[in-house]
Amino acid sequence: MKILWIVNMLMPELANHLGINTSASGTWMIDIAKEISFRRDIHLGIACIYGDKFRKIHLNNIEYYLLPGNGKNMLMYTKQYENTWKKVYDTFNPDIVHLHGTEYSHGLSFLRSYPSVKSVVSIQGILNRIKDVDFGGLTKLEAIRFRTTKENIYFNGMLEMHLIHKKNARYETEILNKVEYANCVNSWDSSIVKSINPNIQCFQIDYNLRDEFYSAPKWDAQKINRYTVFTNPGGVPLKGTHMLIKALALVKKKFPNVKLIVPGMGNNEGKLIINSGYSKYINCLVNKLRLIENITFLGRQSGKEMLENMLKAHVVVVPSAIEGTSLILREAMFLGVPSIASFRGGMADFIRDKESGFLYDFQEYPYLASRILELFRDDDLALKFSQKAIEQAEKAHDREKNPNEYINMYEFINEH
């Protein structure tokens, strides 16, 4: 059985072969790809957009296809890929095509070109909901006020990204109406997908975490930096960093030495890089609330660095305005780090409030502050959450079970 994955990133193995850095996103695909590529009855191909020419590269049982282009070509539908997909199809001749994500349009060009090929999509982010919360509670006036000169020149600020999301949500709707099957990790994903295509058949298969998490030690309250909060990378408003900062200002009144660690927005010195309207807004907010000494902004983090930061944290908070299946939340709970998440999207499916963590409404930052304070003050509660989270997450991210369920899904689709 030949399975063609269409992905939005360079897989690490391929990136290493090309001598470049890969994306920090999409890491849940890595272990699954590795495991199913070892199966003798599976021939796995993976296609992505990269470079200036069409390339085919064979590495460790996987056939990689590089379609020429860049991120802009993925965001903006272009007919050129309808011809390029023919090279992939004629070479690989897949039995099933598996789209990983609906946020980009290059997979749609395959579906339009080869409607008879059996297809399944894995849900990552859902633009039909993301477009409604792009500003994360910021007003359009604030989005305009904090625009950078670069955003005014290149038209690539918060407002433009919102317009792109609205446009691409229509492509997403077409994708979901063209495929017969979807893998929805949680019931929220499934509910949104079925509201768009009531006839789609949904599987619910979880994914594997990054390799280093399976061999990592678990969270130990005796080895943490107390009163430290770690969060998800927050370069856009819908990730909710500004709401967490507002909550931090309230926590500081009780714990003046509280520390927030934000990955993906800083430099090697722990300072915020102001390179967008949103980071400009964050800088203003941090100064206004006098939190400069309480927040460290890190640059892009490897899986190992993310793991180390989580194990040192007292609490992990995922404050997103929308989130399908938060990788950061899943990894934190797998390690046993006491976690708090907004009651949004698929996160509400995973954390059991007051049992394996805390949930709160996205905009209720005073309530978020109270939950952080509760965990700072109560080690027994933190330990209870830690133990329950480990038990729950280890079942969800069973390294052997999930690849087998992928195979079962492919076999089912191939037979029907």
Please determine, for residue 291, whether its predicted confidence score (pLDDT) is greater than 80: yes
Q: Residue 8 has what pLDDT?
A: 92
Q: Residue 76 has what pLDDT?
A: 85
Please, what is the angle between helix 379-396 and helix 365-377, to 10°?
110
Mean pLDDT (whole number) for 46-68: 95
Q: Residue 72 has what pLDDT?
A: 85
- Of the chain, the percentage scoring pLDDT greater than 70 comes to 99
Look up residue 322 and give its two tokens: 């929308």
| Ramachandran area for residue 35 (φ above 0: left; ψ -120 to 50: alpha; else beta) | alpha
Q: Residue 24 has what pLDDT?
A: 60
Segments forming the whole domain that contains residue 281? 211-396
Whether 48 and 156 map to the same domain: the answer is yes
Whether 177 and 250 map to the same domain: the answer is no
Contacts of 347 (CB under 8 A, 6+ apart): 318, 320, 323, 326, 329, 341, 359
Angle, CA 36 vertex, CA 35 and CA 37 arms, to 5°: 95
Whether 145 and 253 map to the same domain: the answer is no
Between residues 21 and 342, the one the model is more confident about: 342
Q: Residue 306 has what pLDDT?
A: 95
Please determine, for residue 25, whether its predicted confidence score (pLDDT) is greater than 70: no
Q: d(Cα 349, Cα 102) in Å, to the nearest integer?
A: 21
pLDDT tens-digit readout, 122-177: 999 999 999 999 999 999 999 999 999 999 999 999 999 999 999 999 999 999 99
* Global confidence as pTM: 0.94
Whether 172 and 320 map to the same domain: the answer is no
Whether 404 and 359 map to the same domain: the answer is no
Please determine, for residue 58, whether its predicted confidence score (pLDDT) is greater than 80: yes
Count up the domains in the chain and report the number.
Answer: 2
Please determine, for residue 316, whether its predicted confidence score (pLDDT) is greater than 90: yes
Q: How does residue 23 score in pLDDT terms, banded at 50, 70 and 90?
A: low
CATH number, position 292? 3.40.50.2000
Q: Per mean pLDDT, which of 206-210, 287-291, 298-302 is the most reliable?
A: 287-291
Whether 315 and 180 map to the same domain: the answer is no
Q: Residue 134 has what pLDDT?
A: 96
Please determine, for residue 296, whether its predicted confidence score (pLDDT) is greater than 90: yes
pLDDT tens-digit readout, 373-412: 999 999 999 999 999 999 999 999 999 999 999 999 999 9
Contact 177, 193 (CB under 8 A): no
pLDDT tens-digit readout, 244-265: 999 999 999 999 999 999 999 9
Q: d(Cα 15, Cα 70) in Å, to the nearest integer?
A: 15
Look up residue 373 and give its two tokens: 């304070």
Whether 341 and 279 map to the same domain: the answer is yes
Q: Which of 233, 219, 200 is nearest to 327 (CA)?
A: 233
The mean predicted confidence, pLDDT, of the chain is 95
Range with lowest mean pLDDT among 19-28, 129-138, 354-363, 403-412: 19-28
Q: Residue 89 has what pLDDT?
A: 96
Q: Residue 82 has what pLDDT?
A: 86
| Ramachandran area for residue 126 (φ above 0: left; ψ -120 to 50: alpha; else beta) | beta
Output the CA–CA distances (angstroms, integers) from residue 248 to 15, 229, 263, 341, in the order listed: 38, 9, 16, 15
Whether 169 and 307 map to the same domain: the answer is no
Q: d(Cα 126, Cα 358) in Å, to the nearest integer?
A: 24
Please determine, for residue 26, whether its predicted confidence score (pLDDT) is greater than 90: no
Whether 186 and 217 map to the same domain: the answer is no
pLDDT tens-digit readout, 142-152: 999 999 999 99
Whether 169 and 230 map to the same domain: the answer is no
Whether 55 and 120 map to the same domain: the answer is yes
Q: How does residue 97 score in pLDDT terms, banded at 50, 70 and 90?
A: very high
Whether 384 and 411 map to the same domain: the answer is no
Look up residue 214 and give its two tokens: 């399976």
